[in-house]
Amino acid sequence: MLQSFKRALEALSKPYTVKYPAGVGAEKYSSVPDNLRGMPEFNSEKCIGCSACVSQCSSGALTYIDAEGKRYLNINLNKCVFCRRCAEVCPEDALTLTIKFEIASNNKSELKVSNTVELSKCINCGGYFAPEKQLNRINDRLMGGLKEAKAIQYAHDDLPKYLHLCPNCRKTLSFKLNIHTRKHVLYDKA
């Protein structure tokens, strides 16, 4: 018991807790490691709206709604378990988990992280089907992979038109005309 007595006397002048949220020692507390899994955040320029993150979310906190020509991606922070699967699978590194962890709030609207991307219209039927940025990105990736000059020449004009057909129209048109849609686009220069 004597050693406990000595330890208690030693401890009198060395408190280990720090004053929070401000004051002496707060700097020590607020230095969290860089890979802390805190509040998720969208990078609006990089996000292409592909919704790969939505399909991988462990808890169903990430959802998307297509309405009025836009796609709204929402993260409900009440359900988020901060597991980082969404950031892992994002192809464009547009979703990161920041180090912000003080996200308690009185206001439910502060507990929603969202991003909006524009949807593009199908050139045949006029319905919204995919985000514009995603189609542009596919275009860039495909063009970047072609090497033959002739393919590049053909693809350069046709590819945007081909990509801007919604899947239904692609199916119905290729059935109707009995040719590959891309050839249809080549012939029908409208």
Partner 1 sequence: MLLFPIIVIPVLCFILGVLFNYEIRKIYARSQYRFGPLLSMHNELRSLLGLSRILQPLYDVLKLMFKETIIPRSARKSLFISSPIISLILAVLSSYFISYGGLSLLADNPLSIIFITYILIGVSLFWVLGGLSSSSPWSVIGSRREAELMLVIEVSLLSSIFSSAIISNSLSIGGIMSFQLKYYPIILLNPFAALVFIIAVLGKLHFNPFEIPEADVEIVSGPYTEYSGKLLAAILSSKYILTSVLTGLFVNLFLSGGLILPPTNPYNQLVNFIVFLLECFIVTFIVSIVHSIAPRFRIDQAVSWSIKYLWPLSAFSIIFSLIIRFILGVT
Partner 2 sequence: MESLNDVLNELGNILKPDFEITGYGCEGKHVRVKTSANKLLDAAKYMLSIGSRIVHITASDMGFDGIRLMHIYSLEHIDKHAHIILYAYNDGEPVKFPSVAQLTYQANWAERETMELLGIEFDGHPDPRHIFLPFEWPNPVESSSESKSGVKQVTLPIGPYHPAMLEGGFFKLFVDGEDVIDVDIKVGLNHRGIMKLAESRTFWRDIFLVGRICGICSVPHQLAFVNAVERILEVNVPERAEYIRVLMAELNRIHSHLLWLGVAGDLIGFKTLLMWAWKIREPIQDCIELLSGNRVHADSMSIGGVRFDVTKEQLNKVESRLLEVKRDFKKLAEDIASHSIVRRRTEGVGVMPLSSAREAGAVGPTARASGWKIDVRRDSPYSFYDDGHITWDVVVEEAGDVLSRVMVRVKEIFVSIDICLQCIDKLKSIGGPIATSEFKPFPEGEALSKVEAPRGELVYYIISNGIDIPHTVRIRTPSYRNIAALKFMLRGCRLADAPIIIGSVDPCFSCTDRVMIVDSKSGEQWTLSGDEFKNLTFKGWRR
C-beta closer to partner 2: residue 88 or 157 = 88
Give yes or no for residue 19 binding partner 1 (CB under 8 A).
yes
C-beta closer to partner 1: residue 21 or 33 = 21
C-beta closer to partner 2: residue 85 or 121 = 85
C-beta closer to partner 2: residue 55 or 168 = 55
Among 11, 65, 103, 152, binds partner 1 (CB under 8 A): 11
C-beta closer to partner 2: residue 18 or 143 = 18
CA–CA gap between residue 176 and residue 181 (Å, rounded): 10
Shortest distance in whole angstroms from residue 4 CB to partner 1: 4
Three-state secondary structure readout of the chain: CHHHHHHHHHHCCCCCCCCCCCCCCHHHHHCCCCCCCCCEEECCCCCCCCCHHHHHCCCCCEEEEEECCEEEEEEECCCCCCCCHHHHHCCCCCEEECCCCCCCCCCHHHHEEEEEEEEEECCCCCCEEEEHHHHHHHHHHHHHHCCCHHHHHHHHHHHHHHHCCCHHHHHHHHHHHCCCHHHHHHHCCC
Residues linked to residue 33 through DSSP beta bridges, in sequence order = none
- Binding window for partner 1 (CB under 8 A); candidates: 4-12, 44-52, 115-123, 142-150: 4-12
Residue 56 partner contact from partner 1, partner 2, none using kind-dependent CB cut-offs of 5 to 8 Å: partner 2
* Identity at 119, one-letter amino acid code: L
Tokens 């309405």 map to which residue?
A: 67
Among 1, 12, 22, 24, binds partner 2 (CB under 8 A): 1
Residue 176 partner contact from partner 1, partner 2, none using kind-dependent CB cut-offs of 5 to 8 Å: none
Interface residues with partner 1 (CB under 8 A) are 1, 4-5, 7-9, 11-17, 19, 21-24
* Site residues (vs partner 2, CB under 8 A): 1, 3-4, 7-8, 16, 32-33, 35-37, 56, 58-59, 81-85, 88, 97
